Amino acid sequence: MLQAEGITKRFAGLVSVNQVSFEMVENEILGLIGPNGAGKTTLVNMISGTLKPNEGELRFEGQPIDALAPYQRAHLGICRTFQVMKPFPGMSVLENVTVGALFGRNGGEKATGKARESAREWIEFTGLSHRIEAKADSLGGPDRKRLEFAKALAMGPKLLLLDEVMAGLNAVEVEEVIELIKKMRERGVTILVIEHVIKAIRSLSDRVLVLNHGEKIAEGDPAVVLEDPRVVEAYLGRRRQ
């Protein structure tokens, strides 16, 4: 479904992502991990189109997408959530999610009424029906995260990019989000998830991709990758001899 070949991003003299290559197949969950500053969000920004790589190529379902704007990629089915949640202020939960339904994949073909029907479905799916008429900016942290999910799902993603959706949640809330992500995959959504909660990465991921200082240092089965000495060192620092 997604192919990245030699993706590189520079900011002035800083190389944020350096020659990263990987593939994703349909209906898998790929965990993207690494210490802070490893280049994870930069990589997701290049996939979603908010940044363009300096080198390399991205292909989605065989089609080059590097020249496409974010909204064009959304129309293809590449959708995302954001680490810093910014709902449309002053608008209700229903109105926020309806915007996603109107402007996502095949959004231009939807009338407002049909978009609202779709929005209601995803609001129920994410467990937000009890806040459907609430103003989005009045929601607490966990409900704002559910709203991020609902907005993205209403866009009709084939590939959903999740950027640290469990940050700030307690153990019970983390379990709820893990189950929600599994339900998304059951709906046929392919998922790339950035996460620091290793329990979630172990539970969710079919494969794990690890970045450190912008470079890929490991990729593969979570049980193997998370025990890789290079990965342990990247997170915990070099062990004393």
Question: Does a structural domain hold residue 136?
Answer: yes
Q: Which residue did the predictor score with more confidence, 3 or 142?
A: 3
- Listing DSSP states for 144-185 in one string gives HHHHHHHHHHHT--SEEEEESTTTT--HHHHHHHHHHHHHHH
In this structure, the answer to whether residues 70 and 102 fall within a common structural domain is no
241 — pLDDT class (breaks 50, 70, 90)? very low
Residue 119 above 60 pLDDT? yes
Which residues constitute the domain of residue 121? 84-156
Predicted pLDDT at 24: 97
- What stretch of H or E contains 233? helix 229-236
Assess if residue 207 is contained within a domain: yes
User: Does 73 share its domain with 163?
Assistant: yes
State the average pLDDT for the chain. Answer: 91
Pair 229, 125 in one domain: no
Nearest CA among 146, 136, 137, 156 for reference residue 176: 146
Count up the domains in the chain and report the number. 2
Q: Mean per-residue pLDDT for 220-224?
A: 94
| 8 Å CB contact between 95 and 88 | yes
Would you state the pLDDT for residue 112? 83
Specify whether 4 is located in the same domain as 63: yes
Question: Do the strands 78-80 and 159-163 form a parallel or antiparallel pair, or are they unpaired?
Answer: parallel
Q: CA 28, CA 37: separation in Å to the nearest integer?
A: 25
| Number of other CB atoms surrounding residue 39 within 10 Å | 24
Residues 93 and 30 in one domain: no
